[in-house]
Structure formats: structure tokens, C-alpha cells
Amino acid sequence: DAGITQSPRHKVTETGTPVTLRCHQTENHRYMYWYRQDPGHGLRLIHYSYGVKDTDKGEVSDGYSVSRSKTEDFLLTLESATSSQTSVYFCAISEKQNTEAFFGQGTRLTVV
Amino acid sequence: AQKVTQAQTEISVVEKEDVTLDCVYETRDTTYYLFWYKQPPSGELVFLIRRNSFDEQNEISGRYSWNFQKSTSSFNFTITASQVVDSAVYFCALPEITGRRALTFGSGTRLQVQP
């Protein structure tokens, strides 16, 4: 199994609070991604990174920011959590183009 | 923009039945890849297969087989003699060839295999 760890695995937070999710990989893969999974939508890309300090937006990036200061870590921050951000968040890594992406275990975030 | 459509939201079969999960895609790329992932009730995403657009031969792996039809933009997945352990949500996905290399996912098909 690919070495990807997401933390925390579960979190309940209040509306308006900042939240940071962490993705850590031990594979030295170049590409890292954050997706959210919601019923009826499959997985949708929030942000991605193609190298240290190189990040860009996906389709559903509003309300989220990311940082990648080291190859192995990709952080997702909800600046001010809203109920619409209640979701399951997956981190993924990919070595190069056209290779499969490997996913972390997911983080279930509930915003109340 | 790319698009992946999995029109079957949920399928229920009885153990040992064969079942086919449909996937239709749209892409402007002339060269592309297609993936299938499985998400069992435990929630993790498990990679199943990658196919490229150059190879339209059917792929078989045990009870799993995949039928890639470029002419109809479909990449269907068949499970033969289904088992309860096959119960999961299955996703078809299309990676971007350039730029961010991210995956475009279909909305998934939930397969329930009844004993």
C-alpha cells in the first residue's frame, strides 16, 4: 500500500472556525491532491500541488487554501468552516502523468 | 472539459449473478487513460485498473473484466459470479493528460450483492 496518512481521521468543528487537514506521504511522489466526496457528486478536486510551493485550484476551491512546504506534506485549510464544507476529504498522490493516483484513508469533517 | 458519466446510481444483485457497471466519458484528448476505483464500506479508495486509449482489447482479471469501446466512449466493468465482498461503490475516472493531471470522477455506482 502507498504510504499516505491523513490526519485527523474524524473532526467535528463549529461554523466559523479554521480547520487544517494534513496529508503526509512517504512515497516522494510529485503530485498531491485534495478531493472532497459528497453523495451524488463522486470526488471533486479542491486543490492540487505539482511540487513544493507549487499549488493551484481545482473545481471547488472556494473557501479552501493549501500549502506544501515539503514534498511529503500537503495541508488543506478551511479558513472559516461552513456547514457546506461538511464532507469526506481525500488526499491523493501520483508519481507522474497517466499513472494511478493512490488515496489516503479519508477525513470525515462535520461542521455544526 | 472532461466528463465521466455513471448513469447507474445503485445496482442490487444476488450472489453469483453477473453484473455490468457502465461508464461513459467525454474528452478532447486523442490519447487518454481510464481508471476504475472501488470504495468498499470501510471507505478507502482502491485502484482496480488503468487502460489507455491505444488498447481496446478487453482486460480480464479473475472475476473482473473491462470492456473499452472507443467508438462509443465507454469503459464498462463486469463482475462475473458476484460475491458479497464485491459490495462497494465503484468509480470510473479519467485523468487529465496535461496540466494538473487530476482525475475527473464519475458520480459512482453503488453495488449491493445480496447473499
What's the pLDDT tens digit per position in B31-84? 888 999 999 999 999 999 988 888 877 888 899 999 999 899 999 999 999 999
Alpha-carbon distance B114 to nearest alpha carbon in chain A (angstroms): 22
Residue-level pLDDT at B38: 97
- Strands B64-69 and B59-61, bridge-based pairing: antiparallel
What pLDDT does residue A1 have?
Answer: 56
Burial class (CB in 10 A: 0-12, 13-18, 19+), A65: middle
Report chain B residues whose CB lies below 8 A from the CB of A101.
Answer: 47, 95, 103
Distance CA B23, CA A109 (A): 29
- Does the pLDDT value for residue B97 go beyond 80? no
Contact predicate A65/A56, CB 8 Å: no
Look at residue A80 and tell me whether its pLDDT is greater than 90.
yes
CA separation for the pair A18, B78 (Å, rounded): 44
List CB contacts (< 8 A) between B105 and chain A. Answer: 35, 42-44
Give pLDDT, residue A49: 93
* pLDDT over 90, % of chain A: 84
| A13 at interface of B, judged by CB pairs closer than 8 A | no
C-alpha cell at B35: 481508471
The alpha-carbon gap from A94 to the nearest alpha carbon of chain B, in Å, equals 9
Q: Which candidate from B100, B102, B106 shows the least CB-CB separation from A42? A: B106
Q: What angle do CA B3, B1, B32 make, to 5 degrees?
A: 70
**pLDDT computed for residue B55 by the predictor:** 80
- Look at the block and give the residue holding cell 453477473: B18
Answer with the residue of higher pLDDT: B101 or A6. A6
